[in-house]
Structure 1
């Protein structure tokens, strides 16, 4: 028969993936949302839930394939942790190693979304120089924002919030599970729509962590 989530059947908690339906999918969505991930309000294992699972995989250092394996259920008991910063209880944390962004309110994670940062490859800048794609690390503050699609030399930035020079957190139609940008911090369009109203000029943003390279296959 079909068994839903229950205290006595933890040993049969299943692996879940795109297209799955049922009580276990509902349980997964509820648990992820409770930890601060953004699994959406759908019914089955849709693309929004898959994105939240990839973010979960990033946080825990798992393979980023969007499949929630049976042995991942135990990790849902571990709360998402962020560094304590008495001087900046409301802030944005960007972990380049994990490729995630955490919105922090009163020193607690209020939302966790996937990002894609600089890929470390070379490209030609606006003045013709060859430069290496890097996302600046350190402590910054947001100083400027633009509405809608903002056109830059390297392409369109959706609802960008700038934190250093031309570097911004912005929505993009391409946010793979590995670093792929020229230096900005890419977010998914829906995530940027959720994030931007919660940002403000002068808000601290901390960018840290060693960049995780793209896999040799280009998939992730």
Structure 2
């Protein structure tokens, strides 16, 4: 590489980051399916040809932007939850407070949540995106397990990730879908906690019936 090439390389790198930022802006404003190449280029302040140069296609750029946005959202939610949860509260109260914060994001980050659902549909036709989403889910399972157990992620047992973490992620996905399609009928944080307690009671009653 010649030193004279540096300005062009720096500009190219800047265009790539501008495209990611523009794509995330479009995802927030228009969602995945309705965002066009022209929308992204306009938001990023670069030419439409730059999308093909850096990412190959609109879909690849939107996929990268969506995954990056979800990562950023996860960190934002983590900070919000940490600030909302009272360390002196009981585990049940902390769990309910966590859900209250998550449910709020179904309104404040609605377009991003919808875009994530669209990405799941797109993954059916994109093995690369499917692998990226699967890797993100694996990280998510481990992360929520660590949060629930109060344990560092690298110390979380795999069995806990495959049980507690997987069920918590499934619950999150289900509540999200209900909130997006029927916000008035979706469960509140208190109802989620009550529902889990009711489920445990049913299971324990069934076990007691078997033991008797």
Same-fold call, TM cutoff 0.5: no
Q: Which has the higher strand share?
A: 1
TM-score, normalised with respect to structure 1: 0.22
Q: Which has the higher helix share?
A: 2
